[in-house]
Each structure stands twice: as structure tokens, then as C-alpha cells.
Structure 1
């Protein structure tokens, strides 16, 4: 009897919890919203608000789960929710408001699927169940992120609502007073850069790499990061520190640096300038250079190697060109052509028709007459058979017209040095003749009275 009563009570308890869970399921829901106005930039930290509504009072904090989204960092940094009451459709609801931080890493559209939420509420007797009273889902969220036009081409930047940067030296190199400490060989120097950024994450803040100099060794420490929240405003901090050890006297110049960030409040590009600083160690005024890294040394060696090759080619190519021209003019057939041109020119100067004919035929044999057309053979034969000066000039005019036509038509004729010289000789011979000897031809081949 006692066993039957126990199972009856257990069955009634399960039935009651099941009915209560179904009732709560109808009275519990969640809403997700993204209260952002304007363009969302990549690396911008956006707050996603999740409001959970329940007709019964909450027994404990709800648990929110989400699916990962490529290129989107999703974080729940605030461990506690904001609680309040609200009226919906004539009913009073208890509300838990949670915040998730969304940070897009690349431009493009994003879709956050529905959030999975486990909720615990109290029953009518004020008891708390060991398992979630209800499992609900929120609505999905869609948005897009882009790179602002003003930030195009900038290698490293981040988005924030406000940024503050401080730098310091120990000993203080920025002190302009006469009591500025003197630094010498063996002394140590510390340099610190502190960056604060509101509504950003420490991983988004820039990292500086400090280099050693010849005579000044740099020992950089790992960056220290921290994050805090005050009244819903998240502040990221990064501290970068490097220690220097002076090994040689000299002047060491710390270069200027820039920090670029996108102002999400004013929607504009902001730049923080860190001016260069000069360290004077001892009395040596020599400005010491950087110590090159292994990669930079390899790049510098490669540049020197390429410069050596370029310089060698710049000196070698003109020499090879000059040698080629010299060897061309020293070839037997070129020298023979030059000698024949000189003989022909001398015959024209002496006005010796028989010698001119002999020179034409000698060159004709030299050029292998079988390779030329019948017209050229006929012209040369006409010059050979001329017995008077006027007849010779007439044949020279015909030969000149032929040479001009061939020079315009044939690339071989244009590249032949002898034919160009021959054309000049024929033209000069005709120009020196008497107007009574006949007609002249211009280079275009048109006739006009001499």
C-alpha cells in the first residue's frame, strides 16, 4: 500500500511539472536586437541586446548559446543581466536583458542564427527545478560590415569610440629642463607606450616592434593587455614596453609613429601622432643606424646583387653593340662594297663613262646578278651601252627612279648600306649635270623641268 501511494504521488508530480512546463513555454519568449545606426565598420564592437520575457519570476540567470559564424567574433563579457519588468499584451513580464558583443573581422554580410536559451523560473510554490524550466530560441540577426572609404589602403587600424595614447621614458627624455639626465655607456633606458580604447578589444590595438641600433640594444617585453567595463562602456588597454642598454656613445633617433583608428561616433578617420625622439648618449655626435634583421640583411644583399647585375649589363651591352658594329664593317663583303662605292664615286667625279660602266658591272657581279629582276639588268645594260653623256644621264635617271621605288617597297633595300650609298651617288651625279642634258626626277618619281 505504501509503495502504491509513493508511485501515485510521483506520477502526479511528473504530470504537474509537465503541465507547468507547457504553460511556461507559452509564456516565455526572447527577442534579440542590434541597436546600431549608421555603417558598421570591420573591427567595430557592436552590442547585441537579448531580452528574455517570462510571466513567472526568474529563479536564476539564463544561459545563452550560439552557433559560430565565420569572420565574426561573438563574446559574452558581462556575467550578469539587467532585470526589469515590462507590460506586453496586457500582461506583466519579468525581463532579463543580456548583452553579447559582435566584432566583424572582414567586410561582407553576416547572419547570426537564432540563439539557444535555457531559462529557469520558479514554480507556484517558489521552488527551483534542477533542470531548465524551458528551452527557447530568439530571432536571427542579419547585418553587414565594410571598410570605410577613408580607411582604404591603411595597413593597420581599428574601430573605437575614443582613443588615448600616452608614452613615457625612464629617465625622462621628453624633459626640456636643464636638469635633464645625462646618459652614457652602461646606462639603461625604458620606453613605454600605453593605449586606451573605448568600445574595442585589446587584440584590435596596434603592436609596435622596437629595433636595436648599432650601440643601443633593445629588449622588448611582451605586451600587457587588460579590459574593464564601467556602466556598459568597455575599455581595452595595451601597454608596450621596451628596455634599451647603451653600449656605445652616439645619437640615437627613435622614429615617429602613427596610430590610425576609425571614430565610430563621428564616422571619421582619426590619427594620433607620436613624434620622433632623439637620445644623446655621451659626447659622440654620430647618428647611429638601425641594426638590420636577418630578413632585412637578406633583402639588402638581394638588392645589391640585382644592382650589380644591372650595372654589369649597362656596361656590357654598349660594348657588345660597338663590337658588333665594328665586326660588321670589318666583314669582307662590306669592305668590298665600300671599295666599289669609292671607285664608282671617283668615276662619277672624273665623268669617265667607261669607268662608271665598269664599276656598275663589277658591283653587279659582286651582288650575283641572277638574284635581281630583269628590269635592273636592263637598266645596267643601258648604262653600259650609253655612248654619250646625255644618254648616260638618261639611264641614270631611270636607275634612280628604280632605286627609289625599291627602297620604298623592300625592307631589304632599306637595310642595305650599299644601295643607299649608290642612290646618293646617282643623285649627286645627276645634280652636277647640265640643265641641257635632259630631265631630272624627284624622289617621288615625278618629272619636272630641270
Structure 2
């Protein structure tokens, strides 16, 4: 059979192979998943969590952009800016994923569905190349029940636990007319955002003025950074102008506990305020004082006072200018320090010390670009010893290798010491002083800066 007669078969085989490879590549497409993390019956006013997962074949090159969407009849927040990294195998294909958790508080009973959410990102469809992609999140549906016993269709307050505490800045039973009493009420609600905690009633009794301050909202977090409860602090100042006994009303808040299915009440006790009469004003029995005679103007005293004021003003102006220049010089020095090669490399060592693989890659990339050591592989070949190159290769494999290799633990201690030694050898080529410190450059090194600019 001649070569020409074999050409059609070869072309058919090549076309079939390319179609098979293309079908294999198209089969592994990015996808999204929405999961209702809160289990059990959902009630109006209850804070629930929805997990949104985005998966891509291989790995992400630019992170997905999760939007904060609107949902009619509900409050939507995303309290945690950090994402959870995921790994999953689907039909024999390895996928990398990132999860974000949305916190939704439905205000009324009914059926809810997520709106259309499109999330863009970049990933390595072909290793080493950025492919722009996007996914549409499935429209997750959930049903919200009315709180048992709620009136008028209002959602009320739904939380895991609510505790109300209060403090006074002084003893309420020991006031005098004209005194002020500061009352601080703190409400802690587990499983409820601080903005959803109702405002307590801090009304004043008749004859008492009250000045209510702006509330302070915050969150109580676990050691892992997760939100455990919402906190609301309200402060009111009561002013008692007249003596007497006054009653500050107790503060109560009813809420529905979805875990027990019952309505519970949190309360802070009221207070009895006893205000005594202030000190009597003394009336002096004496003839009226004679009118004061107008004394002549003391020009010498006023001249000395004016000169003193001018001298003080000049000194203050001079000191302000001096401190302004000093502050500018300090800011410039700190900026140079923060942007120096020494600081960039310290970030690399900190990432090794903390065993933070993602942070190590970012720090190495910034250091190599700052110093002109691009590509970084050439720098490793020239200045790093074999053990350091092996440790760095294992780190890269654990980051971008197969899903099984992600569980390997790189030798960060060896990598850290090897990077320090390699940097020392690299610095020796750009420094005229061979007795520099092993770990650090001087804060200001014009010899190094000059050599570095020539290298670029």
C-alpha cells in the first residue's frame, strides 16, 4: 500500500482522535450548587444559611465573584468574606470548588426561591492557560412557616436564645435633685443578626427627661471567626430635676425558639430611683455692696499679655511645622520599608512559618517580580540547593497536582531555611559588603538598590 493510499486513513484517525479529546474536554464543565444548610422547619424571622458552591475542572486562576443579591421579603447578607476551598470527583473528573455562605432572614411566611445568580471566574481548562467562565446557580426553593401564635401576620423575633442584661453608672437609690442616671441595656441574640434585634423601650417616667444615645451593633464570634450571636447595646441618660421616687419600667422581649417550638421571654428588671432634695441655697443677710468704681486701663499689663500671646502663637506655629515635616519624613521612611525587598521576603518566610501554601505562592510571586527574578524557576536553579528545589517542587505539587497530592504536607521548615540560604547567595552578587546579615538587608542600602536597577 502506497503512502498516498494511507493518507485518508490517517486523516480519519486524526479527526476522530481530536473529536474524542474535544468531547472529553467539554464533558468536564464548571457547575454550581445551592444547598440549604439550615435543617428543620423554617419560621418567619429565623436566620437561615444557604451554601453556594462553584466547581471547575483542574483549579481556579481567578476567584469567583459572588454577588450580594436581593430577595423579596427577606434580608440577605454575606457576613464572612472568606471562602471555603473544596475538592470533589465527579464521573472520574477532579474538580476544585469554592463555597460562600449567605445568611437570609425571611420576614414573612410563604414560599421563597433564589433569583437568577450568575457567577464569573477564571480557571485552568488547559493547565497554565486562563479560561474565562461563568455558572448560573440553581434556583433553590424553600418554605417559611408562620410563627405559632403570631398576630397580624408579623414575623416577630425568631432566635436560638436571647439574653438581656443592664447596668447603671451609679446606685439608683442615692440620687439628688439635678443628678443624672445612665442606664445601659445589652441584648444578646444567638442565631440572629444584630440589626434584626428590636429596640428596647427606655421611656422615662413623668417628670424625668431622657436622652437616648445611638445603639451600638456588633457580633460575637467563635475562635474560628464564625458569628455566634448578634449584640445590641442601648444607652439612655435620665435627668431627675425634682426629688421623689420614680420607677423605670422593666424591659421585656418575646421571641420564638425554633428548637423548642415555644415562645419565650427575656427580661431585664425595672428599677426604683430615689431622688433626694439637693443642698439648699444659702441666703446672705448683709447690706448691698457698694457699686464698683471703674479702674483705669492698665496699658502695660495689656501690652505684656499681647506680646506673650503672640510669642506663644509663633512657638506653636513653629512646632506644628516641625512636627508636620517630621511626620512626613517618618511616613516616607515607613513606606520605603514596607515596599522594600526585605519586607517582601519576610512575607515569604512568614508564610513558610505558618504553613500557609496559598500565601507562600503570592509572597514568592511578589518578591520575584519586585527583584526582577522572573521566571522564579531560573532563580531556584541558580541559587537554591537540591534539597530546597525538591521541597519547593513538593509544595507546588500539593497545590496544583492531583487531588491525592493535595493531602501531602510540604517540608516548610526545610523550604524556609533553604530560601534564606538561596537569598543570601543571591545578595552576595549584588552587595559590595560580604558581611551582611544572613536574614535581612539594612533598612537603607544604596549599593544594593543601584545594582538591582542595573540588573533590571
| TM-score, structure 1 normalization | 0.52
Task: Encode CA deviations 1:267-318: one digit per residue, 9 max, x unaligned.
Answer: 321111222210111169xxxxxxxxxxxxxxxxxxxxxxxxxxxxxxxxxx
Residue equivalent to 2:176? 184
Counterpart position of 2:269:
275
Paired position in structure 1 for 2:143: 144
After TM superposition, give the deviation of residue 23 of structure 1 in Å.
4.5
Residue 247 of structure 1 is aligned with which of 241, 246, 253?
241
The answer for the alignment partner of 1:161 in structure 2 is: 160
1:133-165 residue CA offsets vs partner (Å, 9 max, x unmatched): 101112111112122214447978311222222
The one-character-per-residue Cα deviations of 1:229-287 (angstroms, maximum 9, x if unpaired) are 43433421111110011211000101122111122333321111222210111169xxx
Q: Partner of 1:70 in structure 2?
A: 72
Hey, what's the Cα distance between the residues in 2 that align with 1:74 and 1:186?
47
- Counterpart of 1:46 (choices 45, 48, 53) is 48
Cα contact 2:87–2:95 (8 A) shared by 1:
yes
Secondary structure of 2:61's match? Answer: coil
Q: Which runs of 5+ in 2 are unaligned?
A: 1-20, 279-456
1:233 corresponds to which of 211, 227, 231? 227
Alignment of 1:86-165 (within 5 A): 86-122=88-124, 124=126, 126=128, 128=130, 133-152=132-151, 157-165=156-164
Pair 1:228–1:61, CA change in 2 (3 A): farther
CA contact (8 A) 2:67 2:119 kept: yes
C-alpha distance after superposition, 1:314-345 (max 9, x if no partner) = xxxxxxxxxxxxxxxxxxxxxxxxxxxxxxxx
Distance 1:241 1:89 in 2: 59
Number of aligned positions between the proteins: 256
- Give the alignment's Cα RMSD to 1 decimal: 2.9
Partner of 1:201: 193
Residues 125 and 245 from structure 1, CA distance in 2 versus in 1: closer, same or farther, beyond 3 angstroms?
Answer: same
Q: Is 1:255–1:277's contact at 8 Å kept on the other side of the alignment?
A: yes
**Deviation readout 1:117-140 (Å, 9 max, x if unpaired):** 1122246453556xxx10111211
Name the counterpart of 1:259.
253
Please give the alpha-carbon distance, in whole angstroms, between the structure 1 residues aligned to 2:30 and 2:155: 45
- Aligned partners of 1:225 and 1:36: how far apart in 2? 24
What is the TM-score with the length of structure 2 in the denominator?
Answer: 0.51
Q: Are 2:225 and 1:223 aligned?
A: no
Partner of 2:426: none
SS at match of 1:203: helix
Answer with 1 or 2: which has the greater Rg: 1
1:210 and 2:212 matched? no
For residues 112 and 229 of structure 1, the distance between their equivalents in structure 2, rounded to whole angstroms, comes to 27
Q: 1:67 to 1:30 in 2, by over 3 A?
A: same
**Correspondence 1:5-16 to 2 at 5 A:** none
State how far apart, in whole Å, the 1-side matches of 2:26 and 2:171 are.
66
Structure-to-structure mapping, 1:293-372, within 5 angstroms? none
SS at match of 1:59: strand
Per the alignment, residue 34 of structure 2 pairs with 32
| Alignment partners' CA distance in 2, 1:74 and 1:274 | 30
Aligned pairs (5 A) from 1:404-443: none
CA distance in structure 2 between the aligned counterparts of 1:59 and 1:250, rounded to whole angstroms? 72
CA offset at residue 25 of structure 1?
8.5
Cα 1:74–1:155, aligned 2, differ >3 Å: closer, same or farther? closer
Answer whether contact 1:151 1:269 (CA < 8 A) is retained.
Answer: no
Q: CA deviation at 1:227?
A: 3.0
**Is the contact between residue 24 and residue 55 of structure 1 (CA under 8 Å) also seen in structure 2?**
no
- Give 3-state SS (helix, strand or coil) of 2:162's partner: strand
Residue number in structure 1 paired with 2:379: none
